[in-house]
Amino acid sequence: MTAAISIRSLTYRYPNSHRNVLDGIELDIYPGERVALLGPNGSGKTTMALHLNGLLPIQAGSITIQDTLVADANLADIRRRVGMVFQDPDDQLFMTTVGDDVAFGPANLGINPPQRDLVVQDALAAVDATHLAERHPHHISGGEKRRAAIATVLAMSPDIVVLDEPTSGLDPVGRRELAELLATIGATQLVITHDLPFALATCPRSVIVDQGRIAADAPTIDLLSDPERLIQHRLELPYGFQLRAPGA
């Protein structure tokens, strides 16, 4: 099976830095997988994700999305295939209504207004946010903003959805609702998170990144059942959390 995401020897150093924030990353993610990307602050998780649709240039190594190399000549195609949901929904919601935000991407693709309206309706319905279409994005709750931000990505019909700290700012009900929502999205998903229970609830597989390298890659339940490994990479389950496999 062709990997949805194939990363080879990916290395990156920010300007004026004396160390590589990514140091030879090797990773394959297959179509339909939901994979959590775990690791301490500064480990390179978000930097890696920003390479997947060309938001950061590749300095060394390569990334292939399905059968297409991430390169300047292919960025329009890559950005259609890979949708990024940023940590702060306000980075994606800037129009006067949620519906206009969701329509922004399809409009840039040249989709005609009647078809665009259908795309917006479908994207909002997919995240159970049809009622938000006429609302101002700054006048809705954090959970509603998160749904709206995901809808802006789904409107582009991506093959891969990357979510950066999607539970940030959400209350427990919002976290549960988001987990249920992600389970309904058929696209391949990469979820960057410090929220280990959320990773367990949403992602059968997890990858730990530390010091710019892949430190572990295994079923999420196996990684979270290894307290010594978690401590080694500055990861910790919430106090009192009872670990059990999803559905158990």
Inter-helix orientation angle 142-154/98-108, to 10°? 20
| Beta strands 22-29; 82-85: pairing state | unpaired
CA distances from 5 to 31, 49, 246 (A): 8, 11, 25
- Tell me the mean pLDDT in the region 8-13: 96
Does residue 51 belong to any structural domain of this protein? Answer: yes
Per-residue tokens: 119: 């795309």
pLDDT digit string, tens, across residues 58-89 = 999 999 999 899 999 999 999 999 999 998 99
What is the β-pairing status of strands 60-65 and 160-164? unpaired
Instruction: Please provide the average confidence, as pLDDT, over all residues in the chain.
Output: 93
- Provide the domain count of the chain: 1
CA angle 100, 104, 110 (to 5 degrees): 130
- Residue 32 placed within a domain: yes
> Considering the domain boundaries, does residue 208 fall inside one?
yes
Which domain range does residue 93 map to? Answer: 5-232
Q: What is the pLDDT of residues 155-186, one digit of tens each?
A: 999 999 999 999 988 888 888 989 999 998 98
- Residue 19 DSSP SS3: coil
160: in domain: yes
Q: How far apart are the first and last CA of the chain?
A: 30
CATH at 208: 3.40.50.300
Q: Is residue 10, in this structure, part of any structural domain at all? A: yes
Residue 219 neighbours by CB distance under 10 Å: 14
